[in-house]
Amino acid sequence: MQLVEALLVAGLLCAASVAWQRRAEDAQSLDAIEAGERAVRLAPDSEADRISLATLYLMAGQDRRAVETLRDYSLSRPNSAKVWRLLATAYLRQEEYTAAKDCAAKALRAGPRDAAGVHVLAMAHLGLQDVASAERLFRESLKLEPNSVDSNFQLGLLYTKQHTNPEEAIRLLKKARALQPRMAGIHTALGSALLQSGKPEVAARSLETAMELAPDDAETYYVAADAYRRLGLDRKAEAALAEFNTRNAALADQRAREMRSRAYYQQGADLLANTDQLDKAYDLLEKAVREMPALDAGYYRMAQIRYLKGDLKGASSLIREALRLNALEPEYYYVLARCLESSEPHRALDAVRTAVALRPGVADFQELLRALEPPKNP
């Protein structure tokens, strides 16, 4: 289990991860996402727009939104290898490995057996702890595309974590480094493989490059501490270990907050069926969004409770926050329309039209649309 987790944490979609994290902070990236969301709302059947938006979400680290953008849509595109492969990638980022494996297999059945599709399937097998299948698939991917950064990296990392075949690991990782010299994870893995081969000085240089490229990555400092100890640089080893402990604690805290948020959310959602427990449900959902402010579903459920209690203004404010976080969930537009149907019927009509465009055929959406549309002239 530790081997698989280490491989996935260190290398999942490695060739782009650092760049994606940086782009997520750029206003230009946010503008691109907003433009992509508008395009999908205007043309919900467009495969190109869906793929473009899901890719932008992944680039920004918004993995759940990428899944939501493609999940239902993929059912209407059973022969689209691109959609299935990208959905598999999104599931990988969410650590939903069974779903990722299923989607990756569908992608390969729908299209040619290409290197990218085989690589994604290999990652899914790795997540499911089927290391033998993952190794076989990474090798197949490299036969199809010898210059694949991801497959060279992942196979080299696999050998490094298994402590087997270190020279082959070094060869693969050096090739990945030559193809993608700015990827910190490659330098970290190479440093670890060099340590195993008894080359701490060269390993330390590789690890220092990794720290320059990704100063917040905890694992690099841990491996660097080992390299410095072997070189007799005790002060540097202690400093690197201290940096590891600080960053590892921050990561553990973030994971704990996410777990608490999910637990609070599930408890609150389970209580919604009991109208006598709405206040308790609201308190739990409020705790959920406090722990994870980007939890759009939490704001949606809170808006539902405010709506049921007759607080349309409060419900409207909460559902707008949910929409700010996830502009492609049709149910949110429907709730917004319900909140506005008496006070702002024109805006309510726009909202329910968007809901229908994003998810046609829902009876409640169609019924509200008919009620809000002005009568046609005879």
Q: Which CATH class is domain 160-232?
A: mainly alpha
Phi-psi region of 295 (alpha: psi -120 to 50; beta: other; left: phi over 0): beta
Task: Identify the pLDDT of residue 11.
Answer: 43
User: How many beta carbons lie within 10 A of that of residue 293, not counting itself?
Assistant: 13
Closest CA to 4 of 125, 126, 100: 126
- pLDDT at residue 209 in the model: 97
- pLDDT per residue, tens digit, the chain (378 aa), is 444 444 443 444 443 343 334 433 444 677 788 889 889 988 989 999 999 999 998 888 888 889 989 998 998 889 999 999 999 999 999 899 999 999 999 999 998 899 999 999 999 999 999 999 999 999 999 999 999 999 999 999 999 999 888 899 999 999 999 999 999 999 999 999 999 999 999 999 999 999 999 998 999 999 999 999 999 999 999 999 999 999 989 888 988 999 999 999 999 999 998 889 999 999 999 999 999 999 999 999 999 999 999 999 999 999 999 999 888 889 999 999 999 999 999 999 999 999 998 888 899 999 999 999 887 765
Q: CB neighbours of 72 closer than 8 A, spacing ≥ 6? A: 359
Q: Are 1-145 and 160-232 in the same CATH fold? A: yes
pLDDT at position 154 is 96
Candidates 217, 311, 250, 230; CA nearest to 18 is 217
Identify the pLDDT of residue 16.
37
What pLDDT was estimated at residue 28? Answer: 64
Measured between alpha carbons, how far is residue 284 from residues 248, 261, 281, 350 in Å? 28, 9, 5, 32
Residues 6+ apart with CB under 8 A from 109: none
What's the confidence (pLDDT) of residue 15?
35
| Domain residue ranges of the chain, discontinuous segments joined by + | 1-145, 160-232
Q: What is the pLDDT of residue 378?
A: 55
Given CATH 1.25.40.10, say whether it is the number of domain 1-145: yes
Q: What is the model's pLDDT at position 7?
A: 45
